[in-house]
Chain A
């Protein structure tokens, strides 16, 4: 960190004093260079007969990086050249990330919109042969809603109470252990949670596949997320509020229920909704425990069910054009569901942010 301070900045250039202002490249250099590099990339691509646009992009990026560096080194000096190269690399990193992510969203929307209509949303696959066009995702939507709902009913109370324990009561070894294992639990791969329920519920206790079995695995994935976010929110509640309530002789449990929780309810709701959004897209445990079905099964406690992410996977496995269309359409519904949950959750967080201070 102290490099800068010990190295005196050279103010002379080979004995000749230079002006304090270095020569600078004009402001329009980077965009012009970028255009030139893009032209060079596509030129080389066309001449060389490279068929993948990815190669064109890579060549253009390389030309741009080297060109900027050489030009800046010649005009502005090596330090400025390094600075420009870093700027270029950072911008390229950003574009490199935006392209696939934008392409993912675009593909899902463009290909998903094809078969997405009222019929698709309100019908199940029924007895339709896999290769035929038609069918819908009603059974998958029902399954996802029921499984995620049940998982939330299990995980939200446990997560909430655990967070209250950690923030309001927790000290000593038990609290430390819980904190540590909540962290560890956050990292459990979803398929491992699925294997756990598989080993207990299906292999040892002998139950069959059901939506509820899936919900239990999803609840395991959801709990640590709820605990973490609720904990953060409860810590934001100013202590003065708790003290004021306690000083009036209100019991601690009523203080928590009537003062602490209402103050932080917005953030807690946000956390729970984000957790729901996360588990709604989980496929692996559902694959192991719910198995998937083609017809509507409204009872999550009995028999195989369908769920949206699993539907996407199974349609992809079928591998015909009609099935791919259905997979994209279901993916679009799933992505819309998750994104809307996210946006609403963040909206609530902003609207109901705890007012700390005055």
Chain B
């Protein structure tokens, strides 16, 4: 990492022709072509991103200008009628609620697993476990959906009636005797799906905690939990936050698992255990087959909202990671 010409440390003189300065000759044509191709690919990537934003916005404008109701507050999705009326209020509510439930379950558990792998598991088990967690991140979402719909849902009805008996008075945990195809089930399933990603990022961070910090705490007589609370968690906090936000990004955009498990309806229902509600991605997948061209535009408009939300969440996660890099660099 010492060569100034190849690493990204000091900016070279204008242009990228490093050896022309060395050899005193003009840049070779091969170099020029190769640089052209690789720079072109980078630019192509930017163009694709810009095109995504531009085309989604263009179709969304078509859709929203034809919408006879308020796009943000309407509790209905009927873009095919004579008076097309559709809005994203239900979808925004459902997406937010299911992701919040997913985060509330997944983040503590994922931090626990990460700690288990990095600090509690027997040494010989630790690295195979990390490996298995990485493999689980690769299970396709449709399979989680299939499992959720055919296995998880029937097994949750008992638990939900139990919740209803003791917590039903809150309103949130009230449960009639339907199938458990509700936003809460979606939240549980999303939690299981994002566990691997949150775990593996958190584990990386926990493994980077300087050994000296931990040994210093141990030498002072701290118990293992005190070591973790005073040296591991403070060091890993920003890493855990960004891991959670990456997980949140996944949960927000998850389509198939939600589409298979949820029994959708266009109502905002605050009893989360009962079927109903919807999310952005699920709504696109379930309404697509019956949509005409304007209906597809309407779905694209809701997709644009989802796109913007995930951009913000992921951008924030990246910013936190970038900040942390500087911080740990100063300490390393």
B151 touches A252 (CB 8 A): no
Nearest Cβ on chain B to A34's Cβ, whole angstroms? 15
- Contact call B59/A87, Cβ cutoff below 8 A: no
Contact B260–A316 (Cβ < 8 Å): yes
Which residues of B are found within 8 Å of A192, using beta-carbon distances?
52, 56, 253, 303, 306-307, 310
Tell me which of A89, A195, A198, A246 has the highest count of chain B C-beta atoms within 10 A of its own C-beta.
Answer: A195
At the interface with chain A, which of B12-20, B69-77, B82-90, B268-276?
Answer: B12-20
A309 to B5, CA, bound (A): 47
Chain A stretch 140-183: residues in CB contact (< 8 A) with chain B: 157-162, 164-166, 168-172, 174-175, 177-178, 180-183
Query: Which stretch of B96-104, B168-176, B221-229 is in the interface?
Result: B221-229
Q: Does A304 contact B (CB under 8 A)?
A: no
Chain B residues with Cβ below 8 Å from A243 are 3, 6
Are B136 and A101 in contact, CB atoms less than 8 angstroms apart? yes
Instruction: Tell me which of A162, A189, A287 contacts B42 (CB under 8 A).
Output: A162
Q: Are B285 and A284 in contact (CB under 8 A)?
A: yes
Residue B2 lies at the interface, judged by CB distance under 8 Å to chain A: yes
**B residues within 8 A CB of A265?**
none
Please tell me if A334 contacts chain B, counting CB pairs below 8 Å: yes
Which of B31, B45, B192 is close to A158, meaning CB atoms less than 8 Å apart?
Answer: B45
In the assembly, what is the distance between CA of A220 and CA of B45, in Å? 9
Contacts of A182 in B (CB 8 A): 45
B320 at the interface (CB under 8 A from A): no
Quick check: is B277 within 8 A (CB to CB) of the other chain?
no
Q: How far is the CA of A89 from the CA of B111 in the complex (A)?
A: 11
The answer to whether A90 touches B112, judged by C-beta atoms less than 8 angstroms apart, is yes
A42 at the binding interface (Cβ < 8 Å): no
Give A295 Cβ to nearest chain B Cβ, in Å: 19
Distance (Å) between the CB of A192 and the closest chain B CB?
5
Chain A residue at minimal CB-CB distance from B253: A189
Among A3, A96, A239, A309, the residue within 8 A (CB) of B230 is A3
- Asked if A253 and B33 sit within 8 Å, CB to CB, the answer is yes
Q: Which B residues touch A335, using CB under 8 A?
A: 139-140, 143
Pair B12/A55 contact, Cβ less than 8 Å: no
Specify the chain A residue showing the minimal Cβ separation from B195.
A97
In chain A, what residue has the closest Cβ to B16? A169
Q: Is the interface of A mostly helix, strand, loop or mixed?
A: helix
- The number of chain A residues touching the other chain, given as a range, is 35 or more
CB distance from B81 to the nearest CB of A (A): 20
Task: Check B143 against A334 for contact (C-beta < 8 Å).
Answer: yes
Q: Tell me which of A1, A50, A184, A254 contacts B315 (CB under 8 A).
A: A184
B147 interface contact, C-beta 8 A = yes
B315's nearest neighbour on chain A, judged by CB, is: A184
Point out the residue from B46, B112, B143, B260 that lies within 8 Å of A94, measured CB to CB. B112
**Interface code B23-38, partner A: CB below 8 Å = 1, 0 otherwise?**
1000010110111011
Q: How far is the CA of A200 from the CA of B138 in the complex (A)?
A: 30
Interchain CB contact under 8 A, B255 and A283: yes
Q: Which residues of A contact B31 (CB under 8 A)?
A: 251-253
Residue among A220, A287, A327 making CB contact with B48, cutoff 8 Å = A220
Query: Which of A55, A174, A185, A288 contacts B158, CB < 8 Å?
Result: A55
Most chain A beta-carbon contacts within 10 A, residue among B37, B44, B220, B256:
B256
Query: Chain A residues with Cβ under 8 A from B157's Cβ?
Result: 52
The contact string, 1 if C-beta is below 8 Å from chain B, for chain A 239-260, is 1001100100101111011000
Complex contacts, A115 vs chain B, CB 8 Å: none
Q: Which of B3, B41, B46, B217 contacts A177 (CB 8 A)?
A: B46
* B326 touches A (CB below 8 Å): no
Task: Assess whether A339 is interfacial by the CB under 8 Å rule.
Answer: yes
Q: Which of A94, A172, A177 has the most C-beta atoms of chain B within 10 angstroms of its own C-beta?
A: A94
Residues of chain A within 8 A of B252, CB atoms compared? 189
| B contact residues around A174 at 8 Å (CB) | 39, 42-43
- The answer to whether the Cβ of B265 comes within 8 Å of any Cβ in the partner chain is no
Question: Contacts of B213 on A, CB cut-off 8 Å?
Answer: 1
Is the Cβ of B223 less than 8 Å from the Cβ of A80? yes
A253 to B260, CA, bound (A): 50
Q: Counting CB contacts under 8 A, is A204 at the interface?
A: yes
Q: A159-B41, A338-B140 are in contact. List 5 more A-B contacts (CB 8 A).
A: A175-B8, A185-B48, A187-B249, A284-B281, A287-B285
- Across the A-B interface, give the 6 residue pairs with the lowest CB-CB distance, nearest first: A281-B140, A189-B253, A93-B112, A52-B158, A187-B314, A253-B34
Interfacial residues, chain A to chain B (CB-CB below 8 A): 1, 3-5, 9, 50-55, 79-80, 82-83, 85-87, 89-94, 96-97, 100-101, 103-104, 107-108, 157-162, 164-166, 168-172, 174-175, 177-178, 180-193, 195-196, 198-200, 203-204, 220, 223-224, 227, 239, 242-243, 246, 249, 251-254, 256-257, 274, 277-278, 280-284, 287-288, 309, 312-313, 316, 324, 327-328, 331, 334-335, 338-339, 342-343, 346
